[in-house]
Amino acid sequence: MEQDRKTQPPRGGIYLLPNLLTTIGLFAGFYAVVAGMNRHFEVAAIAIFIAMIADGLDGRVARLTGTQSIFGGHYDSMADMLSFGAAPGLVVYSWSISYLGKFGWLVAFLYTAATALRLARFNTQLHEPEVKPHSQGLTCTAAAGMMASMVWLGSLYVSNGEILAIPVAILTVMVAGLMVSTCRYYVFKKIDFKGKVPFFAVVIAVFTITAVALDPPEILFCLFLIYVLSGPVITFWQVRKMKRNKKY
């Protein structure tokens, strides 16, 4: 998750806990690349998910403990570039689209470049005072989850990624385009984990966790695919609604 970062100058030294979590995420992203190069694609996908968990925790821990810093913000962004940009692109390339030759590595580069552009755009919006309930474009964390779940699921059911090279390349280009698009995606930064929620929300969370535990690759792939497609659908619905309002 692209965490909120304060702009106060550091007072000497760095905060240990949030930066340690960022380092864990960075290590998991690097390990995903190594595992992908050795064709351990299931392990590589799981490593990317571990990086996502660590990245989601470092920002929350920093906000809860008041240990946000400029150093932590920049460190987190650089770790995101590896874990959610280079790692998914290289893992997908090693697993499947390498069979497409030059076109394959260009697709992998396009995904990595889109992540860099996405992070750069996010960094320019850090000084906005209000945390909005939506993001402009698909977050690089969700994009990495889409790529990792695709590799995890595909490597379990298809022995040779060459069979899926073309659809994988198309999906990778689509995800890259959504990262730099203006489609609106709901984000979960405003969820108050210390506050009260409806009972039905807890029921949904329990069923979701149970489903993921029963079959992680299939359920995670479906969840991320639904989320990836939700942006264009919501944006189209909002544009259509605005046009209707202008007519009246």
pTM: 0.87
pLDDT of residue 6: 46
pLDDT of residue 16: 81
Beta bridge partner(s), residue 136? 184
- The 10 Å CB-count burial string (b at 16+, else e) for 221-248 is bebbeebbeebbeebeeeeeeeeeeeee
pLDDT of residue 189: 61
The domain locations on the chain are: 16-247
Contacts (Cβ under 8 Å, ≥6 apart) of 35 = 41, 43, 44, 47, 91
pLDDT of residue 7: 46
pLDDT tens for 32-60 read: 999 999 999 999 999 999 999 999 898 88
As a whole number of Å, the CA-based R_g of the chain is 19
pLDDT tens for 113-172 read: 999 999 998 888 765 555 566 788 999 999 999 999 999 999 999 888 999 999 999 999
Give domain 16-247's CATH architecture.
Up-down Bundle (1.20)
